[in-house]
Chain A
Amino acid sequence: MKILVPTKRVPDTDQRITLREDGSGINDDQLPFVINPFDAIALEEAIRLRETGCDAEILTVGIGSADYEEQLRSGLAMGADRAILVQCEESLDPWNVARILQALVLREGPDLVLMGKQAVDDDASQAGPFLAALLDWPQATFASKVELTEDAVRVDRETDQGIETIEVTRPAVITTDLRLNEPRYASLPSILKARKKPIEQLPLEALAITLEPRVKIIDLEAPSQSRTCRRVDSVDQLAEALVEVLP
């Protein structure tokens, strides 16, 4: 069994995101970067599937510049067996991410792709279903529980209506939600061990993909979020003021 875990490198979610003065992008010079939290959950789940008895090779993938190596190393320290860095300096929209991942899946032949339901930078939630459609594989999105069966996967999905339990045949793409697990912190020995694990550098050209841009960013703004808060001193005052605004 082989599990492929695509990841995205994103600013740490605890950080305040601001725009550059010329509005061309976010101020990322000083920002610490991490593996997208949902992708870390996907990687953790792959490791747990291996720990609970499935004999899996776990391959993690990043698409980006040389800076990405640090996050791939942390994925290897968590427990991935090897990593691929697809070298690409451009920022990609979900369509092109999915096309690159499709090429990698065809090259590596995994039985399962586990990835986050969304990346917390662009919040698009598109790459997973895009990849599944391109591969013509079934998908299970928003997984809060994953169980392998003989030749299928049983997944609990977090939907607007509640938890939906589905069974999908393998190979499949599964996107992971918050409640699936809590990713581990890598121990010092595993961090040291991860230094020796291989990271394959793969130029985008090697995948024979010509980018097809679909989403062009015209403008970015940082909207003000604050309002003037009227503070009241008692529940009576609160109830009175509340009644005024109730529909």
Chain B
Amino acid sequence: MKILVLAETDAGALRPASLAAIECGRQLSEQNGGSVRWLLLGAQLDTVAREAARYAPVCVVDAEKLATVTADTWAPVIARAVKQEGAELLLAGSGTFAKDVLTRAAALLGGTMASDVLGHRWVDGQLQLRRAMYAGAIVATVQLSGPVQIITCQSTAYAAAEPLAAVEAIRPLAIDLADLPARVQVEAVESKRGGRPDVTEAAVVVSGGRAIKNSADFEALIGKLADTLGGAAGSSRVLVDAGIAPNELQVGQTGKIVAPEVYLALGISGAVQHMAGMKNSKTIVAVNNDPDAPIFEVANLGLVGDVYEVVPQLIERLSQRNSE
């Protein structure tokens, strides 16, 4: 099976979601025979292509026309590359990039797609994929049938790939870019994450919920504890809806799916849609003033208490430990 993995980059580096996708690709090709290569699009890609080549051979489409990511221009290029290379499987890490760009490319390749895959198995030579439905209440095993299979995999389900012993080749693809549309203008990108790691990429995620009353408190409690632990700040939906936490921090079915080493749920009661986004974390720690909050059902470690009292004390204890 010929596999292409669409690389997602951020500030000239591969995103961790892509390293999980290349790991998934490696497993699939090892189990079923075949090859796995990167498909890398963009402009001025020399540095990131060299980084990618440490993990797998790289097919590059490096053009000024692709400098800005839009589904409108990238999807046809991806589809052409897949056809030209004769790939049977196209992979990417889950996230808004893949949901936008890869999904559009999938339609140009016949619409045979499974999103947010949690795992796979082979049955009689057929690839079967596990994915969550109904906010994680149900896990479905599905089989795709169509010309090219397209998959996004949860970066929490596959470990980040290790570099190979030898650096692989980088090969530019000749793809016609003359007829790409010019219907989408990107005007601005604004991030409010404030220098902390992304919730999907951090080993520790500190999330706040309804108990947090305003943005200043969110920063003083959730943000500060996240910094103390070198982790990411996250949020339940209610804080984002109320404008207390920025949108890209939202963990849940309708936000981001995370599975860090440690997830701290602070003042989060545990709505079904929130738990869908974090229940696969290795250790879940919950602090809530309601002893019957559903969050304690999925937690490994729990303290009944007010986050406004508990968190400052916790920051103090952990800072002492850091300075020791």
Contacts and interface: CB of A to CB of B under 8 A. Distances in A.
Interface in B213-240: 229, 237, 240
A123 B134 contact: yes
Which of A133, A165, A226 gathers the greatest number of chain B CB atoms within 10 Å? A133
Interface in B232-265: 237, 240-241, 246-248, 253-254, 256, 261-262, 264
A138 B256 CA distance: 25
A233 B304 CA distance: 7
B103 A125 contact: yes
Nearest to B250: A178
Interface stretch (B22-30, B52-60, B313-321): B313-321
A177 to B, nearest CB: 8
B155 to A, nearest CB: 11
A217 B141 CA distance: 6
Given A130-B107, A162-B248, A178-B254, A120 B317 contact: no
Interface residues of B, number: 94
B282 to A, nearest CB: 8
Which of B107, B128, B146 gathers the greatest number of chain A CB atoms within 10 Å? B107
Interface stretch (A11-19, A54-62, A80-88, A105-113): A11-19
Interface stretch (B39-47, B69-77, B157-165): B69-77
B284 A121 contact: no
B113 interface: yes
Contact of B103 (A38, A129, A218, A245): A129
A158 B279 contact: no
Contact of B248 (A130, A158, A213, A226): A158
B166 interface: no
Given A167-B187, A229-B299, A242 B318 contact: yes
Interface of B, secondary structure class, is: mixed
Contacts of A70: none
Contacts of A228: 300
Contact of B95 (A118, A123, A160): A160
B225 to A, nearest CB: 10
A220 B139 contact: yes
B272 to A, nearest CB: 8
A208 interface: no
B106 interface: yes
A117 B305 CA distance: 37
Contacts, number: 273
B1 interface: no
B111 A246 contact: no
B292 to A, nearest CB: 12
Contact of A166 (B181, B185, B203, B298): B185
A213 B273 CA distance: 29
A245 B262 contact: yes
Contacts of B185: 166-168
A170 to B, nearest CB: 9
A163 B189 contact: yes
B108 interface: yes
A246 to B, nearest CB: 6
A221 interface: yes
A237 B303 CA distance: 9
Interface of A, secondary structure class, is: mixed
Given A221-B138, A246-B262, A129 B204 contact: no
Contact of B303 (A17, A179, A235): A235
A144 interface: yes
Given A125-B99, A134-B107, A160 B198 contact: yes
Contacts of B240: 178-179
Given A218-B128, A232-B302, A125 B107 contact: no
Which of A160, A163, A212, A221 gathers the greatest number of chain B CB atoms within 10 Å? A160
B279 A142 contact: no
Contacts of B313: 235
B97 A120 contact: no
B211 to A, nearest CB: 16
B317 A235 contact: yes
A120 B145 contact: no
Given A161-B10, A214-B111, 15 more contacts: A17-B137, A123-B253, A125-B103, A130-B106, A130-B111, A133-B105, A138-B184, A158-B248, A160-B97, A166-B186, A215-B142, A225-B136, A231-B303, A235-B314, A247-B262
A-B pairs, top 7 by smallest CB distance, nearest first, are: A162-B191, A95-B111, A133-B107, A239-B317, A129-B103, A138-B183, A130-B107
Interface of B: 10, 70-72, 75, 95-97, 99-100, 103-108, 110-116, 128, 132-146, 181, 183-193, 198, 200, 203-204, 229, 237, 240-241, 246-248, 253-254, 256, 261-262, 264, 272-273, 275, 279, 282-287, 296-305, 310, 313-314, 317-318, 321
13 contacts: A26-B134, A122-B133, A130-B103, A142-B99, A160-B97, A161-B10, A165-B187, A166-B185, A214-B110, A229-B297, A231-B303, A242-B301, A247-B262
